[in-house]
Amino acid sequence: MKTPLRLLTLLAALPAAVFAAAASAPAARPNIVFIFSDDHAQHAISAYGSKVNRTPHLDRLAAAGARFNHAFVTNSICTPSRAVLLTGKYSHANGTPVFNVFDGGQPTVAKMLQAGGYHTGMIGKWHLGSMPTGFDRWIILPGQGIYFNPDFLTPQGRVTITGHTTEITTRLGIEFLETRPKDKPFFLMLHHKAPHRGWEPDPRNKALFKDRVIPEPATLWDDYSTRPAALPENQQTVAKDLTRRDLKLEPPADLAPGPARQQWLNTKPTEVEITRPDGSKHTLRGRELVQWKYQRYMQDYLACVQGVDDSVGEVLDYLDRTGLAKNTIVIYSSDNGWYLGALGLYDKRFMYEPGIHIPLLARGPGIKPGAVTDLFALNADFAPTFLDLAGVKIPADMHGRSLAPILRGEKPTGWRDSVYYRYYHDPGHHNTRAHYGVRTATHKLIHYWKTDAWELFDLVKDPTEQKNLITDPNQTATIAKLKTEIVRLQKELGDTGQFANEIPRDGVDAPNNAPKLGVKSVPEAITAAKP
């Protein structure tokens, strides 16, 4: 029987029709992997020009995608930063200005993506006091967590996993990807504890920097003479405030575990006895001691960073090997900046450049390889960016804006040319005074509102913020302009000082009454991660 001519014509036209339909159909929504570290200084990444370490896998991410030179936090401290990440709102709007328990009942990017059809996961450091909401699977460190053989909280209870936290978090993330539903796009938040204080590297990287001399920053010996408002009384200096625990000093052999041993470890030493290569003893004091403290601190910190870099490499390798990279956007950032001896400091909190700058790297479909931008980004931009990439509507009350157009190589109209910052924790663990301020491309104005003290810096002429110009009569117009900008931003953001007198809690932890499920393997732990 012959095939009718009309049918033959239709069959012949079918491939073209199918092709045309496929071409006009929307592309599959991308998967999103968000890798988040804790206290990772932008200037400890070689893609950003680091002088102290090399990070080949983060560099690989930057080379394959986009690098933001000026990404900032709105409040440089762990818990508030994570709340901003989830909500796209400043601290005063999400109710988490200090170590408050995060209200998980409010809208979050995880809930919105979940409702939009994404399989959502949260793995690693959470540090928000309440249990995660909006995630199909979650497994989190209680509070800060520990580096070795950590406990994790799951919807089913508390599990213990043997190994180093960075390596475990990586394995959990890959197991999540292995066992995900294959008929849904996924959104994974992979949050590392490292390189948070404690600085306990994994065995692979523990000795990596031990024989290296880390270059000292030019401002390590800053005496704060031009900035008396808050710096002289702060307690996060390399010279005076690192403890014996931070410096990995061994307690006397006869000091049994208990309060006395803990007191010894938490003491800030004014001298340290070392053994020289020839076996002789030497007591370090003064400048020599500060230099030794700096090297000791940096060697451990950078070794922890190396572990995170290794983790990024493992995730990228997995995505490449499985073909998922073709439709997966990978974004890397940190919860705040960090001081690597600059201004004589470690830690974060202050609105100076090292503390507010964060790394921000992204690769994936539609992102131009090797792209670099100086446009201002905020951690409040992360939530609207994730939603935009996923094709989910961005709520109008989010303070952040989507970075997706910038990732595509566009320059959005009316993009911000200033950023507003507010830090509340006063005096806090490190005697860091509360302050707010504004940063532009050329200047920064900071107000310590409880003492009504001001600082002004010309970031072009004085990028290390050594000279406070607030009393310079030639800066009157600049000061007036920046004060007006602060008022404008406060009004725009709805910051009326709602939490200006907040009394912070002494740290946040997740509920600790979860049933203990014992030591579990990574696959077993992922099974327990399902609500």
**pLDDT digits over 339-348, tens only?**
999 999 999 9
**Best CA proximity match to 295, nearest among 412, 234, 210:** 210
**Span 31-204+291-412+505-528 CATH architecture:** 3-Layer(aba) Sandwich (3.40)
Residue corresponding to tokens 């793995």: 123
Task: Output the six-digit token pair for 116.
Answer: 């939009």
Task: Output the six-digit token pair for 430.
Answer: 């490190």
Residue corresponding to tokens 């000791």: 296
Residue 319 CA to residue 387 CA, distance in Å, equals 21
Residues in the chain: 531
Q: What is the pLDDT of residue 507?
A: 59
Q: What is the pLDDT of residue 78?
A: 94
Q: What is the pLDDT of residue 74?
A: 98
> What is the SS3 assignment for 118?
coil
Task: Output the six-digit token pair for 385.
Answer: 């960016």
Residue corresponding to tokens 């303070």: 399
Distances 235 to 151, 183, 243, 271 between C-alpha atoms, Å: 30, 52, 11, 18
Q: What is the pLDDT of residue 360?
A: 98
Distances 17 to 12, 14, 23, 27, 291 between C-alpha atoms, Å: 10, 5, 10, 18, 72
Intra-chain end-to-end CA distance of the chain, in Å: 60
Say if residue 456 is exposed, middle or buried (CB neighbours under 10 Å; 0-12, 13-18, 19+).
buried
Q: State the Cα torsion 364-366-370-372 to the nearest 10°.
A: -110
Task: Output the six-digit token pair for 316.
Answer: 């990228």
Helices (H) and strands (E) in the chain, counts: 13, 20
**Best CA proximity match to 331, nearest among 39, 48, 30:** 30
All CATH 3.40.720.10 domain ranges of the chain, comma separated, are 31-204+291-412+505-528
**Best CA proximity match to 248, nearest among 301, 309, 195, 192:** 301
Rounded to 5°, angle at Cα 362 from 359 and 365:
175
Low-confidence ranges of the chain (pLDDT < 70): 1-27, 503-507, 509-512
Angle between helix 286-322 and helix 56-64 axes, rounded to 10 deg: 50
Say if residue 27 is exposed, middle or buried (CB neighbours under 10 Å; 0-12, 13-18, 19+).
exposed
